[in-house]
Chain A
Amino acid sequence: MNTPEDLRYAKSHEWVRMEKDQATVGVTDHAQTELNDVVFVDLPKPGKKVNAGEVIATVESVKAASDIYAPVGGEVIEANSALTSDPGLINREPYGNGWLFRIKPLSPVTDHLLSAGQYAATLKK
């Protein structure tokens, strides 16, 4: 299972890429494998305010709808519109073009999130 070192992770299987004023969020390689073929995404609108740990999006396979939790609190600044026509990007490029949304974080602190190693360890249970 691929877990890039430069990202931070939530136990609920989202990844975060922290840049200066924005946090890009997606689901992990492990999550996309578990979901199987993604066929629909429900993404938040820009301007939506969210607390860390709240449900912010839904990713659906044929079999089930799965909630996505905001790994950091803040304001949504962009949703990945490419997923509307090609939700399979989440399966093919979970850490790249399959990203879900960008948040302007309230705080740059990500101590509540896991490192790649810590996240990988949660998958071994």
Chain B
Amino acid sequence: MEKLKRNTLKKLLVLLVSSIAKVSYSNGNPYRDRFQSYRQTFRIEPNPIETERIINNIIGEKKITKNLVDLQVPDTVEDGNVVPLTFKINCSMKKDDYPKKVHVLALENPFPEVAIYEFFPENGNAEVSFRCRMRTSSFIMVIAEMNDGRIGREKKYVDVMLGACS
């Protein structure tokens, strides 16, 4: 009888210890919640075919003129949530010589289009600065559609330490 009691007590102890260990290690490796990683980062994969389609839609079969766009982006960024970006378009903002639309694209974002800006001859300097989000280190592209049909394009690579989910 005494042996039985001891055995049962031992079993109970083992159960208790194991249950406590389960609770305490639940944040650790073996008992980790299976969906935790899924919950933390819900991501749609970037689609390179889609980005190519968007760029082809804008440019089409027009010729690209050089030295139209000036892009100023830092080479390395710590936080992908805030990437300062300024672009300038080299043109005299008179009668027909102004950009109609300027597209900003961050390739390898799940949604590669970032912004579209429309200019008018009233603003005498086609320069805009703003901040954008980037998922991973990738190219930033600026495409300018001029009023007389010319097209300018520039690309720059940005290293991102900590990506944002955008």
- Whether chain B is bound by chain A comes out as no
Chain A residues with CB under 8 Å of chain B are: none
